[in-house]
Structure 1
Amino acid sequence: MAGEFTVNETLNTLRAIFEKHKEDRVCVIGTTCAGKSTLLNQLSEYNCEDLDEVLWPNIPEEEKELMNHLLKMPWTIELGNEIDRLVYKFGRVKAGYPLFSTVILDCEAVVYLDISDELLAVHCEKRGVSFEDSKNIKEAIEGDWNNHKLKNDKILYYLTVTE
């Protein structure tokens, strides 16, 4: 499934995906400022979880210090790889609890919330977040997405956020 969707259409599409995969592990991915938290907050009936809420309680203190340090730095591939290492080590997607994340974790289905650079710039400005970092994270997500697409190891859904 692929397409461009308004917020309401995106919510309805996510509901349909979550219903179809209610016994599966579903990962909803998107870059910073793509609208993941906004959507997650409107889908409470599906037990959606945010990566930070799942991840942080499971990370040992010494790893938390490293993660806090890394998150204050401008995003680079090396930084992204280190954060991914920690996320893969301590993050989990549970069946029936769709996880909203910037990283594709072990799961059966992935929903990619893509966003145009123009809209991403607007969202970043509103939140006071670095557009360059968000764009770099987006490119890393797309690389991971394409790798899974080539492997054909997950059910993939592609949605373009339009507002």
Structure 2
Amino acid sequence: MIIKRKVLVIISVIVAFVLLGVPTSASASSKTVPAKYRGTFYEYAGHKKWDKLIIRKHSAQISGPGYGEKPFKAKANAKANNHKLAFKTNGRDKQQIFFTLNSKLKDGASSMFPENDFSLATRKIKHKRYKVVRGFQSGYWFDFIKGHKITHRYSGLANGKY
């Protein structure tokens, strides 16, 4: 009789885990950007001018001719939702790590960051490998190159061949 009760308790615990779900790790957003994503990245905007993306531990900023006169800043402690830094990774594909800096926004158009987010990748330019942050917007991709102002705009149609 006691053995039947123990077996019944064990079975009910197993059924409870199956019905309620096993705890899983959630990919929640963070106010801190991991070290491998940080740095100063440049994208050629033409006429010897560059757009600049700065990603720091608790802030991010984008500026340049393509982004207006004043830099757009996102900080972890900002009051406005479109200026709040909320870092989140969205998965991997083709040696890229996809991430967003405004993961709490429901409408990507209210931020100056690219609407379809970013990816961290590497690319070969003149026999050297560079770390790049690739932005996606309106069916196109464009690369911000870490630490180097290269006078060529690396961009293209986002058709799956990056």
TM-score grouping bracket, smaller chain normalisation: under 0.3
* Structure with the larger RCO, 1 or 2 (CA within 8 Å, 6+ apart): 1
Greater helix percent: which structure? 1
- Bigger proportion of residues as strand: 2
